[in-house]
Chain A
Amino acid sequence: MARAVTQQRKIINTAAAWGIGLLIFFPILWTILTSFKTEAQAIADPPIFLAFDWTLENYAVVMERSNYMRFLWNSVIIAGGSTLLGILVAVPAAWSMAFVPSKRTKDILLWMLSTKMLPAVGVLYPIYLIFIKLGILDTRTGLVIVLMLMNLPIIVWMLYTYFREIPGEILEAARMDGATLKEEILYVLTPMAVPGIASTLLLNFILAWNEAFWTLNLTAVNAAPLTAFIASYSSPEGLFFAKLSAASTMAIAPILILGWFSQKQLVSGLTFGAVK
């Protein structure tokens, strides 16, 4: 009897999980489907789900109008660069907070997080002026720095949480064996926190990939990533939803594929230390 109940619950849970998953995925699915419709089919009421004449015309128009590869390459460099730089800065910071905490560590952590609560537009103008002075407006270097700084609080927080799960005694033992600080972080701490670091890397790569305030406001031609590519197909005066959907699908495809292949690492990293 107990077995039957468990089985029934399992089925309900699975169905509920699939239902919620599909609900969350539906907007993305709808965008992908719309990208294969004509503009008239894209706005049809009632909406057409699958029974339409599939066309690749929107993709052809988008490829003809825009240099997709340049936008893609900029996205890869900016998201990848800011994430790697962020990890380099955050690992020592999270180490000190996790293993050598001071009276103010918690306050510092909270303060770091509070910077995320400031509306980005509030500092747009000062940052814009600094970028002009430094000559890094519309450069990938400038965006790598800014996105790294924007995501740093999250990276530090995530790594801090993972590091806290690692017993300090292991690091102490390494120190007793003569390991220097650099060796302790590089050869003892980092390998033990690989799942956490990997998920932090992935999550921040996704955040940087999707970032659409700084990447739109600090770029023009040379460093414009895929967010600018999408923005160029959005229009408040004209129904170009099919083309916008094609551009959106092309912009999210790389990150969707990356997420699909790394979902195991993402889940294991995000649930690292979840069971107490």
Chain B
Amino acid sequence: MSFKSALCAATAMTLVTAGGALAENLVIATVNNGDMIRMQGLTQDFTDKTGHTVEWVTLEENVLRQRVTTDIAAKGGSFDIMTIGMYETPIWGANGWLVALDDLSEEYDVDDILPAMAGGLSHDGTLYAAPFYGESSMIMYRTDLMEKAGLEMPTSPTWEFIREAAAAMTDRDNDINGICLRGKAGWGEGGAFITAMSNSFGARWFDEDWNAQFDTQPWKDTLEFYAGMMSESGPAGYATNGFNENLSLFQQGKCGMWIDATVAASFVTNPNDSEVADKVGFALAPNTGLGKNANWLWAWALAIPGGTQKEAAAKQFIEWATSKDYIELVAENEGWANVPPGARTSLYENPNYQAVPFAQMTLDSILSADPQNPTVDPVPYVGVQFAAIPEFAGIATEVSQEFSAVYAGQQSVDEALAKAQALTNDAMEAAGYR
């Protein structure tokens, strides 16, 4: 082989190798919801800009959680990017399972991420996942029914007012329930709601020494208030209602009020799906005057599992998907009401987005939740509607099953709290916390 041929061959090989390194195929595990599906539809923009292609593995939330947890714990390497939440991120970051997102470009403007989101997705001050969208919870209520009841919703109502309003709006003859709330067992379903609610009653999961607190008065007050209000004004069978069941009831005009994820606002105000789209008002989640509202904080975020061979391309994707430009891209294609909310401060300064009816209340709700100090009394954990420790999901699922049994009339509040206290302390002892 002549020197010239050898040089040509070497150049060709280099180009092929370089080309391969430049154009990666990223496998991304994600959850099935409107914002994520919109992102999948816009992926071509990322490919056009970077040359990288993307393959999506879309799964139902609980399946996704199990799937990515198994993969990252076993270092399976099935995914280059994972969609995870505020619960997983600090735990996995502490375990060293995620790539730190501490070298994002200046253009990305990491300081624009809402502080509450950045805080919840960090460990020891290092960001491990970039929020794709964030949410809190708030009150969505029927303005016409509230008016008919002769009441006016305050911006930040108390639980007493909500109970009174729910009773006034309830019209059993016309199948209208004053209030619809989650009662379904599961730490991310009814468990998330009752935990956020308990924060506003001054309750907490653990004291500073990781002792369970279900034997305290605030928990008894929370559960009795919830069960009492729901039996007066809630829908039949509320013990098995989750987000979708309540969304369906509200959209059909069968709920006076619904306290749930802020992301639901875009569904209930969409005239294509909701019969009450033009009669919905918003307010902060209720409180009892103790300084904490009953709203939670959550984000679906994109993270890179440690050990991926495509870290650089994965970071490029995360920068693209969680950027200000991406928000503009969605607005151009789908309208401002459909942009991913709750992640960036600049979105709420944008006059186009300020015109969206639920934008300000979503921001206010997010800003009023503090995952570092979620309760009235101090706690040793981070997280508003959860405690960011690996054992929480299992324990909270069992506890919420006990609570759902109360809602279904199968046991008393005292019995449920006694069982919750015992099983939580047992689990924490077995895990070495106590």
Q: Max chain A CB contacts within 10 Å: which of B29, B31, B32, B74?
A: B32
Chain A residues contacting B33 (CB-CB under 8 Å) are 235, 237-238
Find residues 213-266 in chain B having any chain A CB closer than 8 Å to their own CB.
242-244, 247-248, 251-252, 254, 261, 263-264
Contact at B244–A237, with CB atoms within 8 Å?
A: yes
Chain A residues contacting B350 (CB-CB under 8 Å) are none
In whole Å, how far is A149's beta carbon from the nearest beta carbon of chain B? 19
Closest residue of chain A to B247 (Cβ to Cβ) is A239
- Say if the beta carbon of B5 comes within 8 Å of chain A: no
Contact at A221–B27, with CB atoms within 8 Å?
A: yes
Contact at A217–B70, with CB atoms within 8 Å?
A: yes
The answer for the CA separation of A216 and B29 in the assembled complex, in Å, is 12
Q: A220-B57, A220-B79, A234-B60 are in contact. Are A240 and B66 (CB under 8 A)?
A: no
Find residues 134-191 in chain B having any chain A CB closer than 8 Å to their own CB.
188-189
Interface string of B41-56 (1 = CB under 8 A from A): 0000000000000010
In whole Å, how far is A77's beta carbon from the nearest beta carbon of chain B? 19
Contact at B59–A40, with CB atoms within 8 Å?
A: no
Contact of B32 among A128, A216, A234 (CB under 8 A): A234
Q: Is the interface of A mostly helix, strand, loop or mixed?
A: loop
- Say if the beta carbon of B105 comes within 8 Å of chain A: no
Chain B residues contacting A43 (CB-CB under 8 Å) are 248, 251-252
- Say if the beta carbon of A231 comes within 8 Å of chain B: yes
- Say if the beta carbon of A91 comes within 8 Å of chain B: no
Contact at B63–A236, with CB atoms within 8 Å?
A: no
- Say if the beta carbon of B61 comes within 8 Å of chain A: yes
Chain A residues contacting B63 (CB-CB under 8 Å) are 216, 231, 234
Contact at B60–A239, with CB atoms within 8 Å?
A: no
- Give the bracket for the number of chain B residues in contact with chain A: 35 or more
Chain B residues contacting A239 (CB-CB under 8 Å) are 244, 247-248, 251, 267, 273
Q: Which 3 A-B pairs have the closest CB atoms?
A: A232-B58, A234-B60, A220-B78
Q: A65-B40, A237-B261 are in contact. Are A132 and B76 (CB under 8 A)?
A: yes
Chain A residues contacting B55 (CB-CB under 8 Å) are 221
Residues of A within 8 A of B (CB): 39-40, 43-45, 65, 124-125, 128-129, 132, 137-138, 216-217, 220-221, 224, 228, 231-240
Contact at A238–B273, with CB atoms within 8 Å?
A: no
Contact at B251–A235, with CB atoms within 8 Å?
A: no
Closest residue of chain A to B32 (Cβ to Cβ) is A235
The answer for the CA separation of A170 and B32 in the assembled complex, in Å, is 59
In whole Å, how far is B130's beta carbon from the nearest beta carbon of chain A? 20
The answer for the CA separation of A228 and B59 in the assembled complex, in Å, is 7
The answer for the CA separation of A107 and B66 in the assembled complex, in Å, is 35
In whole Å, how far is A52's beta carbon from the nearest beta carbon of chain B? 15
Contact of B70 among A39, A125, A233, A237 (CB under 8 A): A125
A selection of 17 A-B contacts at a CB cut-off of 8 Å is A40-B251, A40-B273, A45-B252, A128-B70, A132-B76, A132-B77, A217-B66, A217-B67, A217-B70, A220-B29, A232-B58, A235-B33, A236-B61, A236-B188, A236-B189, A237-B264, A238-B244
- Say if the beta carbon of B95 comes within 8 Å of chain A: no
Chain B residues contacting A132 (CB-CB under 8 Å) are 74-77
Chain A residues contacting B67 (CB-CB under 8 Å) are 216-217
- Say if the beta carbon of B2 comes within 8 Å of chain A: no
Contact at A221–B62, with CB atoms within 8 Å?
A: no
Q: Max chain B CB contacts within 10 Å: which of A124, A237, A240?
A: A237
Closest residue of chain A to B275 (Cβ to Cβ) is A40
- Say if the beta carbon of B378 comes within 8 Å of chain A: no
In whole Å, how far is B75's beta carbon from the nearest beta carbon of chain A? 7
Chain B residues contacting A216 (CB-CB under 8 Å) are 59, 63, 67
Contact of A237 among B59, B61, B76, B272 (CB under 8 A): B61
Chain B residues contacting A232 (CB-CB under 8 Å) are 32, 57-60
